[in-house]
Structure 1
Amino acid sequence: MDDIVKAALKKWPNVPNCHGWLGLDARGDWYMRDDQAQAAGPFPQVKGSRITHGKLIDFINRNYEADEHGAWFFQNGPQRVYLELEAAPWVLGVQREGESFKVDTHTRQVVSEVRGAWLDEQGRLFLETELGLGVVRSMDMDAAASAVEAGVWDPQDIAFAELPQRFAYCLHPRPAAAAQA
């Protein structure tokens, strides 16, 4: 977490959390979801506006983490902006490097260990890593398929609906009051 964010948390400790305004799609792109996008439908059916500003993306990436309930957020100064996730908390890139494969996250963290692999009913490949569960970007499925064919990963079938509970993450976090309603 950035030092400026830590300082803002100390200065303003009771800023309310924000829900529904930011989404992460299965390609690793961030989306702003204003009132109009939220009213038009749920994420990812209605994504909103893709964030393209490099420094903003870097800031979000550096301040992206999960709470104790598996709800992922971006710490924006003193405010937690909870994320709408299309598939998983991590979006993974896979690149072939000689006879091995490099995996990294949408936040540019290098994955050092893949502990398991799953295929959902849509044919999406999910990898369990030391960071948590991630979905492989569609544009990297050729390299990922090579890893599977080489026996590096042995994907097991799983229903997408089972993944959030099994791997303790939340696709659509809601405020505590709304969750109880």
Structure 2
Amino acid sequence: MDDQVIAAMARWPDVPAVRGWLSLSVRGQWRLHPCGRGWGAPDEEPGEAITSPRIVAFIGRNYQADDTGRWFFQNGPQRVYVRLDGAPWILNLDTDTQGRPRLRTHTGRDYGPVTRWWLDPEGRLYSGSGQGAGLVADRDLARVIDALRTAGGRPLDDWLERPEPAGITVRLASAGEGDIPTDAPLGLLATHDLEATLGFVRRP
């Protein structure tokens, strides 16, 4: 969190929190809802994309969660709760200096190690880590699936094609010589169990 934000919170500690003004899309784009009707209103606003790199970076630096899994942007002294259309972190596939795959969040942070993977009925891939729940962006989904390997080093094609796939353990195929590979279970997740299982609130 920025120093000036921390200072503003100390100076004005009782500013009420707001909802309905900010959302995060499934592709990791911040959207502003200018009339505060981002959710929970009969005339819910679709929102306007925030495109200023300076503002996007400011939101990203001051974005976090409370103890109940509600994510927010600390805008100076005011807490702005965020509607999450996918998950708290939207994940993209990047490569490290050795060309090995790694995950990065929509805010540009490294993500992981992943401790759990889930597939939902629509084929979306979610993850869990110490940073919180993530959703692999749709444009990178096929590449992430290709980069995942079972504990035996096999790709996921056989597992995904089973009529009733059982849980397995997988890892990103990124461990190099001297690295310690991180295995994580992969299972199926019902849509109605998403928030409770992953520990976040989509509409706080």
- Decide: shared fold, TM above 0.5: yes
The separation in 2 between residues aligned to 1:41 and 1:25, in whole angstroms, is 19
- Mapped contact 2:133–2:199 kept (Cα < 8 A): no
Aligned residue pairs, count = 170
User: Radius of gyration: which is bigger?
Assistant: 2
SS in 2 for 1:84: strand
Superposed displacement of residue 40, structure 1: 6.0
1:161 equivalent in alignment to 2:192: yes
Aligned to 1:34: 34
Question: Where does structure 1 lack aligned partners over 5 or more consecutive residues?
Answer: 174-181
1:92 equivalent in alignment to 2:123: no
Superposed displacement of residue 172, structure 1: 0.2
User: In the alignment, residue 94 of structure 1 is paired with which amino acid?
Assistant: L
The separation in 2 between residues aligned to 1:110 and 1:36, in whole angstroms, is 31
- Could you say which structure has the higher helix fraction? 1
Q: Structure 1 pair 112/169, CA: closer, same or farther in 2 (3 Å)?
A: closer
Superposed displacement of residue 159, structure 1: 1.1
The separation in 2 between residues aligned to 1:22 and 1:59, in whole angstroms, is 14
Q: Structure 1 pair 75/36, CA: closer, same or farther in 2 (3 Å)?
A: closer
Question: Where does structure 2 lack aligned partners over 5 or more consecutive residues?
Answer: 149-154, 157-169, 173-184
Aligned to 2:82: 83
1:63 equivalent in alignment to 2:71: no
The farther-off stretch of 100-109 and 143-152 is 143-152
Map 1:5-154 → 2, pairs under 5 A: 5-35=5-35, 38=38, 39=41, 41-42=43-44, 46-95=45-94, 100-148=100-148, 149=155, 151-152=170-171
Using structure 2 for the length normalisation, give the TM-score.
0.76
The farther-off stretch of 54-63 and 106-115 is 106-115
- Mapped contact 1:95–1:140 kept (Cα < 8 A): no
- Mapped contact 1:23–1:47 kept (Cα < 8 A): no
SS in 1 for 2:58: helix
**1:1-57 Cα distance to aligned partner (Å, 9 max, x none):** 000101111111111101010000110000001227545655xxx531010000000
Superposed displacement of residue 89, structure 1: 0.7
SS in 1 for 2:171: coil
Using structure 1 for the length normalisation, give the TM-score.
0.85
Q: Structure 1 pair 114/23, CA: closer, same or farther in 2 (3 Å)?
A: same
- Mapped contact 1:96–1:143 kept (Cα < 8 A): no
**1:91-117 Cα distance to aligned partner (Å, 9 max, x none):** 111235668420111111112301111
User: In the alignment, residue 35 of structure 1 is paired with which amino acid?
Assistant: C
**Identity in percent:** 37
RMSD: 2.0
Q: Structure 1 pair 121/62, CA: closer, same or farther in 2 (3 Å)?
A: same
